[in-house]
Amino acid sequence: MAKVIFGVWDGQVYDNRAKQLFEIEDSPDFAEFNEFDPGNPIKAFMGGKGFFVFEKDVSLLDIAVCYLRRAAHESCGKCTPCRMGTRILEDKLQSLREGEAGVGVLDEVATLAEHIGSTSLCGLGQTAGVALLEMLTHFRDELEREVEGGARRGRQNCTTYVTAPCIEECPSKVDVPRYIDYIKDGKFTHSVGVVLQKYPMAATCGRVCVRFCEMACRRTQVDEAVGIKVLKRFVADREKYVTDRWFTPELIEKKQPPELKVAVIGSGPAGISAAYHLLLKGYPVEVFEAMTEPGGMAAVGIPEYRLPKEAVLRKEISIIESLGGKIHYNQRLGQHFSLDDLRDRGFKAVFLGVGAHKGKGLGIPGEERSIAGYVTGVKFLLFINHYHINLDLPMELGERMVVVGGGNVAMDCVRSALRMGVKDVHLVYRRTRESMPADPEEIEAAEAEGVHFHYLTHPTRLVTEDGKVKAIELVEMEQGEPDASGRRSVRPREGSEFRLDCDFVIPAIGQEVDQRFLGPDDGIDLNRWGLIKTDETTLVTDRPGVFAGGDAVTGPATLIQAMAQGERAARSIDDYLTYGRVRFDKGDRFSQLLRSIRKLNPEYVDKPVKHIYRIKAQELDPEVRKRIFEEVEKPISVEEAYAEAERCMRCYRVYSVVTEK
């Protein structure tokens, strides 16, 4: 475990200089800080809240120079303190490091760092001098000794990384403040471009993303998170960027040899994102899709009123074809071809993005195959999309429907059912409203549209007659004590059983990987949850040349996580085809370090900010929308977009590590 010799983080001073290194107590907080990459110890770390020194003979001046150089490089230049201040600061530190200036200059450095922090307009400038000031306040003697010693300690290996809380929380690491900046400037094309660097489905993501970024937004501590999602949708819709003009094979800078063919299994968010990045890296890519339309869970699992398929999703997926990729439909792995077939057809690498499409059953008596009026949530959404929306086929769903579950799939099911003309829609969930995993917006929308919610209720038996659903037997639950994770257990309350007559029951309690894609000799291992076993970061499976990502690896998760894994797998495949192995990635590593350092303190806002509440996207009236599949959320206006973009505080932070090699 790395030993902190001295340092400051968020105002807390660590000083173990009087002790021998082996006497310093181990702290689990620094378990990650042993090595940067294998065999390469971390000697020091510097960030937006302070710094740590882990080994003797680290030059503080050098790490500060390196840190400020990156800050100056990142400065957008719109405010003088940050644009000029960081440069001057870097120069002064450099002359100190080179022995050209005396101890007196340290005072100038302190004043300058203080000024940059107090007068810069955004998070980048406001934090650029923090660590340096902490050094000067608490460990000035170390800096003076270094300056007076005059002996230049040689350049150190310094690696820097720039991020922001929203970027760090985003699985795809989209540069959120940057695309919002471009909106402020009215450069909408540039703004979409920032998103397109990470994935091709910007308008899709702008509609259905779960927004890890907004949860991490520091603005939540002032008023409300910045409307990152609506802004993304705004630029993506407005630019109608999915044109053949933007995406042509000429966009690909370096073509790879034609024999380095890559097969992508599944055209869901993970597969499309992997194909996109592989195509941009110059590989010939063929996508194999089991169904007749592309998009995977995004196409069949998200209702039309949240994501228009023809106008948005399919257009964005067509980018793959514009870039020269091929998509084969009706090609199911394990049925029409095997992994060995792909190898024999000359594919050098395979990405498995098969998803988790199999709905879990309730595990209660009465639940067998082929009962009329019983279908799992994912299947329900899939078939509604396939038959009702695409083929315009009315569906026989009965008068009263019961959906079991509390996630977004359950919400999608109840809201879709209303739109299909089911009069009486009930939702059964075994815990309370507060512990529902669905988005609060989705729950509110379902309530507004007239769904009957039964909380703390659990099904016990499915009542059928002549192969048809007749009713569901339910029991009320009561809450017990909170467990270690803070979640309260629930148990059935005796004697509270009741029966709800209905003609349709939908379990929407989770999905799993449909394992039929695997043959016995495929050499792909599954873990105990039935998910494809991969290396967590590199997404390498047990079979050489085969990589996997998306729901098939993570279990049912989100669009953005799947797209992030697709992109990560594309990098791994590129490494594999170029070097024969997956190489170390410093971005991944920095993210790990930041996750562990964040345990020391939460992000907070320490400078006063004017309260401006976020704009509300207009929605169709619940009475109107519950009858139709038209998109519920309406786009925002240009004025609203400008106003919303202004709310971003640009919480950029620079981090750097000094390593041995």
Partner 1 sequence: MDLIVCVGDHCHLNGSEMVVRSFQDLLKDHGLDDRVMLKGSFCLGKCSARDEVAIRLDGTVFHTRYQDAVACFRREIMPAIEAQLTDA
Distance (Å) of CA 484 to CA 429, 430, 489: 22, 19, 10
Enter the DSSP assignment of 299: H
CA 15 remoteness from chain centre: 37
Shortest Å distance, C-beta 265 to partner 1: 19
* Closer CB to partner 1, 236 or 505, in the complex: 505
Distances (CA, A) of 51 to 16, 107, 594: 14, 19, 13
- Shortest separation between residue 465's beta carbon and partner 1, angstroms: 10
DSSP letter string, 163-176: E-HHHHHSTT---H
| Residue number, 20 or 370, with CB nearest to partner 1 | 370
**Minimum CB distance to partner 1 smaller for 467 or for 519:** 467
The span from the CA of 302 to the CA of 385, in Å, is 9
In whole angstroms, the minimum distance from the beta carbon of 126 to partner 1 comes to: 57
Smallest gap from Cβ 422 to partner 1, in A, equals 12
Q: Which is closer to partner 1, CB of 253 or CB of 392?
A: 392
Tokens of 529: 């949850």
At its nearest, how many Å lie between partner 1 and the CB of residue 376?
A: 9
* Nearer of residues 335 and 496 to partner 1, judged by Cβ: 335
Rounded to a whole number of angstroms, the minimum distance from the CB of residue 407 to partner 1 is 20
- Write out the two tokens for 496: 């509270």
First to last CA, the chain: 19
190: amino acid identity, one letter:
H
Minimal distance in Å, beta carbon 548 to partner 1? Answer: 24
CB of 396 to partner 1, least distance (A): 4
Q: Do residues 78 and 121 make contact, with C-beta atoms less than 8 angstroms apart?
A: yes
State the minimum distance, in angstroms, from the CB of residue 297 to partner 1.
Answer: 17
Tell me how crowded residue 184 is: count the other CB atoms within 10 A of its CB: 16
Q: How far is the CB of 400 from partner 1 (least distance, A)?
A: 15
Cβ-based nearer residue to partner 1, 369 or 661: 369
Residue 334 Cβ vs partner 1, minimum distance, rounded to whole Å: 13
d(CA 488, CA 179): 41
Block residue for tokens 């400008």: 642
Q: Which is nearer to partner 1, 440 or 467 (CB)?
A: 467
CA distance 17 to 285: 56
Q: In angstroms, rounded to a whole number, what is the distance separating the alpha carbons of residues 259 and 623?
A: 57
Question: CB 381: neighbour CB atoms within 10 A?
Answer: 23
- In this structure, what are the phi and psi dihedrals at residue 71, rounded to the nearest 5 degrees? -60, -45
Residues that bind partner 1 (CB under 8 A): 292, 369-375, 379-380, 383, 386-388, 391, 393-397, 466-468
Ordered alpha helix ranges (H), 509-550: none
Q: What SS3 class is residue 36? A: coil
Q: Per residue in 622-641, is it b (16+ CB within 10 Å) or e — as a string?
A: beebbeebebbbeebeeebb
Cβ–Cβ under 8 Å, residues 524 and 450:
no
If the CB atoms of residues 397 and 557 are measured against partner 1, the closer one turns out to be 397
Bridge partners for 263 per DSSP: 286, 350
Are 331 and 288 within 8 A, CB to CB? yes
Identity at 19, one-letter amino acid code: K
Nearer residue to partner 1 within complex by CB, 293 or 442: 293
Do the strands 546-548 and 347-352 form a parallel or antiparallel pair, or are they unpaired? Answer: parallel
Between 190 and 468, name the residue whose CB sits nearer to partner 1: 468
Closer residue to partner 1, CB minimum distance, 401 or 490: 401
